[in-house]
Each structure stands twice: as C-alpha cells, then as structure tokens.
Structure 1
C-alpha cells in the first residue's frame, strides 16, 4: 500500500463510509444508519444533506425519509472502467474466451484486499452463470481468489484472506502456479464451476484474474484442462499487454 504523508479529511472519509453503508443496506433511514455506523445522528444528518445536494444519494418519499444511492456512483464507475487500460484491453479477449468456451467469462481486479468483478462477457446459453459488475470474490474460496493467492507469498495470502482457514495448503497453490489456473467447484455458488488464472504485472505480482464460470453440468471435469489452458493463455496475453 502506498503511504501518503498528508493529513486526511475526516468529513470526506465519513461521507464515503455513509455512501458505502447506504449501498449495503438501502433503503435505510437516519436512525438505522446511525446504528450501523455508530455515528451521531446530527453529524450524519449533515452528511446526508451534503451527499444529497451533490447528487450521490436520494430520499424515498417516506416520512422520515429513507435513503438509497443514486445512479451517480454507477456513472462514475462506468467512466472509470471504460477509461482504465486493463478492462479496455480485456473486453475483446473476454468475448473471445466466452465464444471459445461457451460459458460466461469475466475480469476481476485486485484492489488491496478486495477482488471485484469489473467486466462480464455473459454466456449465451439459456442456463448460465450470471455475475454483476461490482460483485466481490472471496479470496480464500473463489477461483479468482485462489489464482491470485497462488501468486503471492504465504504471508500476503493470509493478509488478503479474511478467513485464513479458507486458504489452501501451500502444495495446492504450487500446483495452481504449475498448471496456470485454479478451480472452484460450487464453493462460492452452488451448481457453478469456475476456472481462473491470475494476470501478473511487470514485477510478477497479481493484479487481476480472468475467470470462466458455468453450470457444473456443462463445465465438467473432462473440460477442466481445455478451459484452463484457454483462461491461462488469455491472462498471459493481458499480462504481456501490461508490460508493453
């Protein structure tokens, strides 16, 4: 983590916490929000008024009002992702990976301790695995998390995974590194299998993962090696693009 030696703004930090809390619990009123954040109501009221005036949240026609997040965070996130080099480069490759496997392909970025879905090429089958942009992958149990953890030193794996008991033995991470892809069979989403490979930066550190997910009735063990190789090659290509 980069350390910036300047004094931070407490009011701005509070505002960001409020937006996150509203998004997680919406619609939510002042009293419940105060309890969730353990914050004083009068201070929260000023923060809510400021966020509303800036267009980040909106009230429902209740009395007293309950709050929900506006579309502004979605607009900001959309602009950020469409101008970010890795998602832009990944988009056509995700489509090709979807077409080659017949299943949903997606990209998840590592941001400190969070692995979040940022783009999805959804499968065209009627029955398919669906994901939402912003969905978070558990580091210890998801295919994306396992692929990323395999490229980290043991101490960093434990820092990334909230529940270190979900981590695999070191030998299994070594096997993931050897073959270039990880596997999750229903641990995150029952009935769904995922195969993932980490995207590495110029220093060999994981920054993201490419994942293919599908129903376990189609993404069966006899296809693991084939799909794993496609996912691995896509992640390697994106890693090469980052280095040039």
Structure 2
C-alpha cells in the first residue's frame, strides 16, 4: 500500500460512502440512509444535494424522494476499463477462451480485499453462467479466490478472507499452485462449476484471475484438466507467463 502523507478530505470520503451505500440499498430515502450510515440527516442532505448536482445520483418521483445511483458511475467505470491496459489485453483472450471451451470466460481483479469481475465473454449456449461486471467473488470459496489465495503466503491469505475458517488447507493451496488452476463446484452458485487461474504481475504477485464457468451438466469432471490447462495458459499469457 502506498503511503500518501497528506490530510484527506472528509467531505469527499463521506460522499463516496454515500454513493456506495445508495448503490447497495437503492432506492433509499434520507431517513433510511441516515440510519445505514449513522450520519446526521442535515449533513447527509447536503451531501445528497451535492451528488445530485454533480450527476452521480438521481431521485425517484416519490415524496419524500428516494435515491438511486445514476448511470454516471457506469460511464466512468466503462471508460476506466476500456483504457486500462490489463482488461484491454484480456478482452481478445477471454473471447478465445470462451470459443475454445464453449463456456463463459471472465476476468476478475484484486483491489485490496475485494475480488471483482471486470470483463466477461459470455458463453453462447442458451443455458449458461451469467456474470455482471462488478460482481464480487468470495476469496474463500470462488475459483478466482482460491486461485489467488494459492499464490499468497498464509498470513496474507487470511487477511484477504472475510471468513478465514472457510479457507482451504495449505496442502490444498499447494496442489492448486502446482497444477496451475483452481476449482469451485457449486460453492458460490448452485449448479455451476468454475475453473480459475491466477494472473501474476512481473514480481509474481497475484493481481487477478481468469475464470471459466458453466453449468455442472456440461462442465463435468472429465473436462476439468483440459479446461484447467486452457485457463492456466490464458492467465499466464495475460500476466506475462510467470508462475510459481
């Protein structure tokens, strides 16, 4: 983590917390939002007015109004992902992985303690795994989380997890690291199986994961090794090929 030794802006931090809370609970009114954030109503009302004026939130035609997030965060996120080098390089690779496996392929990146989907190449089958950009993967049980945790030291792994007791054993993470891919059989989404591989930076640190997901009726155990190898190779190409 970079240490920036300057005084932070409390009003800006409050505004960001408000946007996040509205996104999680929308539509939500002032009274409920005040309760969720444990904030004073008058100060919160000024923050809402400022965010509305800047175009980040919008009121529903209720009285009193309830608030929801506008499309502006989506526009900003879309521009960021389009211009970010890693997702841009991943897009054609995800498409190729989707075509090779017949299943949905996606990229998830690590941001502090969150593993979030940043791009998806949806499978072309009528019945397929559906994911949304911004969806969060649990570190303990998801294929992405298990692949990433396998590349971390035990103490760092525990710090990433929201429920350290749900982590796999050290031997299981060693097995994932050795073969290069992880497995999730219905632990996150019943009836869906996912296979993931960590994307490593130039220093060998995990920065994300490439994942293939599909219904367990098609992504069956006899296909695990084949798809695992494809996912592993795609992640290695995206991360520069370094594995350990």
CA distance in 2, matches of 1:4, 1:142: 33
Aligned to 1:223: 223
Instruction: Give a deviation string over 1:82-107, Cα, whole Å, max 9, x none.
Output: 00000000000000000000000000
Q: Map of 1:93-242 to 2, 5 A cutoff?
A: 93-240=93-240
Instruction: Give a deviation string over 1:38-97, Cα, whole Å, max 9, x none.
Output: 000000000000000000000000000000000000000000000000000000000000
Q: Which ranges in structure 1 are unaligned for 5 or more consecutive residues?
A: none
What is the CA-CA distance between 1:108 and the residue it aligns to?
0.2
Does the residue aligned with 1:105 lie in a helix, a strand or coil? strand
Does the residue aligned with 1:48 lie in a helix, a strand or coil? helix
What is the CA-CA distance between 1:3 and the residue it aligns to?
1.4
Q: So what's the TM-score if we normalise by structure 1? A: 0.98
Q: How many residues align?
A: 242
Q: Which ranges in structure 2 are unaligned for 5 or more consecutive residues?
A: none
CA distance in 1, matches of 2:195, 2:66: 41
Q: So what's the TM-score if we normalise by structure 2? A: 0.98
Aligned to 2:83: 83
Tell me how large the CA RMSD over aligned residues is. 0.9
CA distance in 2, matches of 1:99, 1:133: 20
Q: Map of 1:4-19 to 2, 5 A cutoff?
A: 4-19=4-19
Instruction: Give a deviation string over 1:138-188, Cα, whole Å, max 9, x none.
Output: 000000000000000000000000100110000000000000000000000
CA distance in 1, matches of 2:109, 2:82: 14
Does the residue aligned with 2:207 lie in a helix, a strand or coil? strand
What is the CA-CA distance between 1:241 and the residue it aligns to?
7.6
